[in-house]
Homo-oligomer: A and B are copies of this chain.
């Protein structure tokens, strides 16, 4: 399809190589396995595949067709047109990782700005060039903490209020570290307990890392200052998982003196895209810059003294350090980090606050309206940002099926991860939800009212 060789050219090239036909190039391949029949459908032209994919896409009901109140780690935000206009440019799209700084200053400076924006937004000193997503960034934080103590501290305390997928991912990543104990994420207790209460007492001299989320999986905000102090008093590190879009309005996790801040940058201008690619945020205090996972871009000068950017501290990485690297990550999510950089720049100080405010205000309006429906209550039990728990009179599944008939994509069924949270739904509201949509949601829920 995309091969430019004419028959004549192919012949001429084979002659230069000194073989007769293409098949001759594959003599090293065991003959009995050579040239298998692949069971693939016949090739389509561009016109045909465009048609087929239009149909597949059309078979979905997306958040363009439905009023979306689903969040739980992926959020429906407005992405300004300029974001895609920039990341579609072939210069960004079709470049490799910027190993050659002389011909990669575009990518390098953009990542440097990404690092700067993330550091400032999270209130941390240093951000890496990105990780795969929020879940894997959390897992890498655990790996980093473990290595920080050279394996001498083996306990990881992880709040149950951390996103279930993230907690599962941490466990998967750490299964080879047989000495590590992961505790704290008991989902059978009272899910609404504050991690400040549940975790602080468990921090001890064997604790490498305490992981909490802010706003937490339920959308709630806690002041972690004291918990962080308690951890530091025991010599443990603290990692805060955050939602960067909230940080336009609420205190940065850096202000709680966190050592590591991770999170998913999807809300920063990345389309939902059925779950990926998203953006793993990974920021640390200065002290841990040499322990950080993934790439870092640093400022320097060229031979003529001109400012220039280059990948730096590469001795941490797998291609130099191999099995002793701080992480195995190589390809990260550069283009998505760029998208978020453009997004953060476009919105800037004013817009980032505005979007966060809209999320906050609309969520609180929705919560209040829903709370006024007999049979429903908002049971978050703490201040929240743009997600809240609704206790429902019947199963979330039943409610969501009903909402779908009203073209509403309902909330997340918390009983999936927290068995005690039966009939509890996590609703997310963003700037994309008009008051009309919220009112329509409330009206649809009223049909379940036990009035």
Binding site for B on A (CB under 8 A): 46-47, 50, 54, 64, 78, 80-81, 85, 88-90, 431-432
Minimum CB–CB distance from A3 to chain B (whole Å) comes to 14
Contact yes or no, B431 A80, CB < 8 A: no
* In the complex, chain B residues whose CB is within 8 Å of the CB of A81: 46, 50
* In the complex, chain B residues whose CB is within 8 Å of the CB of A80: 46
Minimum CB–CB distance from A363 to chain B (whole Å) comes to 17
9 cross-chain pairs, A with B, having the tightest CB-CB distances, nearest first: A47-B78, A46-B80, A46-B81, A47-B431, A88-B88, A89-B89, A85-B88, A46-B78, A54-B64
* In the complex, chain B residues whose CB is within 8 Å of the CB of A47: 78, 431-432
In the complex, the count of this chain's copies comes to 2
Minimum CB–CB distance from A147 to chain B (whole Å) comes to 44
Minimum CB–CB distance from A368 to chain B (whole Å) comes to 24
Beyond A50-B78, A50-B81, A85-B90, 10 additional pairs, beta carbon < 8 A: A46-B78, A46-B80, A46-B81, A47-B78, A47-B431, A47-B432, A54-B64, A85-B88, A88-B88, A89-B89
Which chain B residue lies CB-closest to A64? B54
Alpha-carbon separation in the docked complex, A432 to B46 (Å): 12
13 sampled A-B residue pairs with Cβ under 8 A: A46-B78, A46-B80, A46-B81, A47-B78, A47-B431, A47-B432, A50-B78, A50-B81, A54-B64, A85-B88, A85-B90, A88-B88, A89-B89
Which chain B residue lies CB-closest to A84? B88
Which chain B residue lies CB-closest to A89? B89
Interface centre among A46, A90, A432 (most CB of B within 10 A): A46
* In the complex, chain B residues whose CB is within 8 Å of the CB of A88: 85, 88
Alpha-carbon separation in the docked complex, A54 to B54 (Å): 17
Which chain B residue lies CB-closest to A82? B46
* In the complex, chain B residues whose CB is within 8 Å of the CB of A431: 47
Alpha-carbon separation in the docked complex, A247 to B50 (Å): 26
Alpha-carbon separation in the docked complex, A80 to B46 (Å): 7
Minimum CB–CB distance from A92 to chain B (whole Å) comes to 12
Which chain B residue lies CB-closest to A354? B45
* In the complex, chain B residues whose CB is within 8 Å of the CB of A64: 54
Which chain B residue lies CB-closest to A351? B45
Alpha-carbon separation in the docked complex, A269 to B90 (Å): 21
Minimum CB–CB distance from A81 to chain B (whole Å) comes to 7
Which chain B residue lies CB-closest to A47? B78
